[in-house]
């Protein structure tokens, strides 16, 4: 991908200045911009801010672009990490399951109501939870925290099923396999290690035959399977986030050209803007698409 971009830049006659960090962009008194770089000042008739957000700052996306845009008059919607692994309380079950992956459904609760359900693979880690579904959930949890709303997460180990359905399933299984143990059957629903941890945390005797599975224990297990609380304490932050939420307010951008409505001649693309998407290439596509639109506008092709 990098080679393709470099070949196209060379074909178009673009000059690439590497090792030349831009420190500021200011309007020039006689029109255009003055781009202050570590190696000097560059005059430009137009500037595209494509500096990224704040995720993976070691790559150069350290938020400097937001500061430049703000100095040029733009409103910055407060950024947060997006698509970041979740940190869980030490009291949670992640340390006992580190390295185990499961297909689960996460429910993001905002102010006591389920705001969104997300299904996918989740990886238990020594610090909490990762994997696609945990990264996606982090976007919603962090934005709620930013607005001082109450946010919580629960995990369902039986995606798409409700409590009553799971409870009825246990009843049917007891009739069909009365001599099978609770732990054996639970091990067919989820990884055996996860089944053992769940039963231990619930203080349920996994060796009990289904025919003798107490009703109260059965219902507690059914509830745990569809609504196990995850005590999220935070995320691993920008150093591990795959994207940044927040950025320049979209109302201040002309979507047909990506040109600033606040500072003519300034174009903003990618994670500079207040757009973020779920995992799966959507953030890459946003960066490429907005860059394409800005490039065509600068070339007089829009």
- Token pair, residue 103, equals 């297909």
| pLDDT for the residue numbered 193 | 96
| Separation in Å, CA 267 to CA 10, 24, 68 | 22, 15, 12
Lowest mean pLDDT among 52-61, 82-91, 153-162, 241-250: 52-61
Architecture per CATH, domain 86-159+231-235, reads as: Beta Barrel (2.40)
Q: Report helix, strand or coil for 205.
A: coil
Q: Report helix, strand or coil for 78.
A: strand
| pLDDT for the residue numbered 22 | 94
CATH number of the structural domain 15-81+242-298: 3.50.50.60
Q: What pLDDT digit, counting tens, does each position of 250-273 carry?
A: 999 999 999 999 999 999 999 999
Instruction: Give the separation between CA 284 and CA 287, rounded to whole angstroms.
Output: 5
**Where along the chain do its domains lie?**
15-81+242-298, 86-159+231-235, 163-228
Q: Does domain 163-228 have CATH number 1.10.287?
A: no
pTM, full prediction: 0.90
| Torsion on CA atoms 283, 288, 290, 296, rounded to nearest 10 | -170
Show Cβ contacts of residue 144 under 8 Å, excluding neighbours closer than 6 positions: 108, 110, 115, 150, 151
Any idea which residue has 């224990």 for tokens?
Answer: 217
Residue 232 exposed, middle or buried by CB count within 10 Å (0-12, 13-18, 19+): buried
């Amino acid at each position: 991908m990098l080679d393709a971009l470099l070949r196209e830049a060379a074909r178009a006659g673009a000059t690439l200045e590497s090792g030349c960090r831009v420190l500021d962009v200011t309007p020039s008194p006689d029109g255009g911009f003055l781009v202050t770089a570590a190696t000097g000042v560059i005059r430009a008739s137009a500037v595209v801010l494509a500096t990224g957000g704040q995720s993976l700052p070691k790559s150069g996306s350290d938020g400097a672009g937001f500061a430049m845009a703000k100095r040029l008059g733009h409103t910055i919607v407060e950024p947060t990490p997006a698509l970041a692994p979740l940190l869980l309380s030490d009291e949670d079950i992640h340390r006992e399951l580190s390295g185990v992956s499961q297909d689960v459904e996460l429910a993001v609760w905002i102010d006591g109501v389920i705001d969104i359900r997300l299904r996918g693979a989740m990886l238990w880690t020594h610090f909490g939870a990762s994997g696609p579904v945990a990264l996606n959930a982090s976007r919603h949890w962090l934005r709620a925290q930013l607005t001082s709303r109450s946010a919580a997460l629960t995990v369902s180990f039986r995606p798409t099923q409700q409590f009553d359905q799971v409870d009825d399933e246990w009843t049917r299984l007891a009739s069909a396999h009365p001599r099978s143990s609770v732990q054996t059957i639970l091990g067919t629903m989820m990884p055996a290690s996860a089944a053992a941890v769940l039963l231990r945390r619930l203080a349920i005797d996994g060796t009990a035959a289904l025919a003798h599975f107490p009703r109260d224990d059965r219902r507690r297990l059914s509830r745990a399977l569809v609504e196990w609380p995850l005590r999220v304490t935070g995320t691993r932050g920008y150093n591990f986030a795959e994207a940044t939420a927040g950025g320049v307010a979209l109302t201040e951008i002309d979507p047909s050209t990506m040109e600033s409505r606040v500072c003519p001649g300034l174009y903003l693309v990618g994670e500079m803007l207040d757009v973020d998407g779920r995992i799966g290439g959507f953030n890459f596509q946003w960066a490429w698409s907005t860059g394409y639109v800005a490039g065509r506008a600068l070339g007089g092709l829009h």
